[in-house]
A and B are shown apart, each in its own frame.
Chain A
Amino acid sequence: MAEARDEERRQQFKVLHDNVLHTLESIARGELAIGSQQVRETCMRDADYLRGLITGGADSIPTDLGVALAGMGRDRSALGLRINQQFDALPKQFPPHVTEALTGAAREALNNVVKHAGTDEAWLSAYGDGVGGVIVTVVDRGHGFDLQAKSDGLGLMRSVRHRVLEVGGKVRIDSAPSEGTSIEMSWTP
């Protein structure tokens, strides 16, 4: 079980690091015009991804959840969203199905930002609660919406909520017109 997870993590690392290495080597070989918008965006995305993996203190090591969230964030960035990632003290042992659910919910939340928030920047934060649980937040400073009114935002929120509730987590959504949206997902064992 643990070995299978280690192997999975190695695979994840390999795929994700391959992307970053590919970017660096392409530049080194002179294949890319480094001043171009596309290359700059790719570099920024890769940098954000690596930073997401290494943040914290001297004691912090990459975790399954951290790697999954950072990789997901990197993919979302390709949609033109600037994602400020901050991870700290994530649990080292974490149920894979919860990792999957939280990462999927955060992905939906970020998709929601791309589609409805009218902004190109979002914050993705995650930290451990010290007793084996985590809090993941997705925040934007875009349009926001009226929580009382029926709107597009709410439909997407339903899929975020569904994924988290299904694994026994909690979701808190806050939004108001022109004040952005923040989604807090938490899970405790």
Chain B
Amino acid sequence: MIEIGVIDDDQMLLQGMAAWIGSTGDIRLAATATSVEDYLDTAEIPKIVILDLNLGNYTDPVRNVARLVNSGLQVIVASVIPDRAYIAATTEAGAAAYVTKNNNLDTLADVIRAIHDGKTPTTPEHAFWLGRDDRPRRPKLSPREREILVAVGNGTPHKAIARQLGITMSTVQTHLERVRYKYASVGRPIDHAAHYSERVREDNLGRERLPEPTNGNPHPHQ
């Protein structure tokens, strides 16, 4: 049995999640929390955690991922609406996978199993947005890596990509892993607040939804 946790501030989603995950038979939702702090305070923390990209408490998604990763956890980032810059930045912060919250249980279950097996799965939606990464300081990908990222991103099965390019499926996988490795080792760890403000500036991340990094006061709810 694979135990996972979920950090999300949507009560309806948290309630639905337990039954939903339970229906897989081999995955169990063992802990839920509405914030990263609360999750890390859990007595027995499941090692694989699904993290909502935009928690309503206005905490920074990139910092949330970094904190969980630094605590030795494997993070699946989930969002309702894909946001190019944040998907790229949370991938750099060490997220193991990105999924959209579109209730596709099969995809999510496969991602969880792959991570449990020590893999770094790249879902089509993850590949699509990494392929669209236009930040000035994005990792340098080779033309072949980009080509494969774009093909995976538009839903093409690995088998078809391998045939089109005249390579094996395991080479397709190797290219994807290299892309993820380049992101993970981009050399811009966020381990203190000063780094965070640097990244916001560098990546041109939208500030309107986030607190100013220096004062730490959340925006009032509208």
Cβ of B189 < 8 Å from any Cβ of A?
Answer: no
Given contacts A86-B82, A86-B125, A86-B128, contact A139 B154 (CB under 8 A): yes
From B84, B156, B159, residue with most partner A Cβ within 10 Å: B156
Q: How far is the CB of A138 from chain B (nearest CB, A)?
A: 9
Residues of chain B within 8 A (CB-CB) of A176 are: 160, 163
Q: How far is the CB of B138 from chain A (nearest CB, A)?
A: 13
Cβ of B157 < 8 Å from any Cβ of A?
Answer: yes
Given B132, B154, B163, B206, which contacts A58 in the complex, CB threshold below 8 Å? B206
Residues of chain B within 8 A (CB-CB) of A17 are: none
Report yes or no: A54 in contact with B81, Cβ–Cβ below 8 A: yes
Report yes or no: B83 in contact with A179, Cβ–Cβ below 8 A: no
Cβ of A13 < 8 Å from any Cβ of B?
Answer: no
Report yes or no: A84 in contact with B155, Cβ–Cβ below 8 A: yes
Report yes or no: B81 in contact with A89, Cβ–Cβ below 8 A: no
Report yes or no: A88 in contact with B124, Cβ–Cβ below 8 A: no
Report yes or no: B81 in contact with A55, Cβ–Cβ below 8 A: yes
Q: How far is the CA of A141 from the CA of B100 in the complex (A)?
A: 19
Nearest to A181 among chain B residues (CB) is: B160
Cβ of B103 < 8 Å from any Cβ of A?
Answer: yes
Q: How far is the CA of A82 from the CA of B102 in the complex (A)?
A: 11
Count of chain A residues with Cβ under 8 Å from any Cβ of B? 29
- Write the B155-191 contact mask toward A (1 if CB under 8 angstroms, else 0): 1110110011000000000000000000000000000
Given B85, B156, B206, B208, which contacts A139 in the complex, CB threshold below 8 Å? B156
Q: How far is the CA of A113 from the CA of B151 in the complex (A)?
A: 18
Cβ of B61 < 8 Å from any Cβ of A?
Answer: no
Given contacts A176-B163, A179-B163, contact A125 B156 (CB under 8 A): no
Residues of chain B within 8 A (CB-CB) of A30 are: none
Cβ of A102 < 8 Å from any Cβ of B?
Answer: no
From A122, A127, A184, residue with most partner B Cβ within 10 Å: A127
Report yes or no: A125 in contact with B164, Cβ–Cβ below 8 A: no
Q: How far is the CA of A82 from the CA of B104 in the complex (A)?
A: 10
Cβ of B121 < 8 Å from any Cβ of A?
Answer: no
Residues of chain B within 8 A (CB-CB) of A84 are: 102, 124-125, 155
Cβ of B153 < 8 Å from any Cβ of A?
Answer: yes
Chain B residues 101 to 153 lying within 8 A of chain A, measured CB to CB, are 102-104, 124-125, 128-129, 132, 153
* Apart from A58-B206, A86-B128, A127-B132, 7 more pairs, CB < 8 Å: A51-B81, A51-B82, A86-B125, A179-B159, A180-B157, A180-B160, A182-B154
Contact sample, A vs B, 6 pairs, CB 8 Å cutoff: A57-B84, A58-B206, A84-B124, A86-B125, A88-B128, A179-B159
Q: Which residues of B contact A (CB under 8 A)?
A: 80-85, 100, 102-104, 124-125, 128-129, 132, 153-157, 159-160, 163-164, 206, 208
Q: Which residues of A contact B (CB under 8 A)?
A: 44, 47-48, 51, 54-58, 82, 84, 86, 88-89, 122-123, 125, 127, 137, 139-141, 144, 174, 176, 179-180, 182, 184
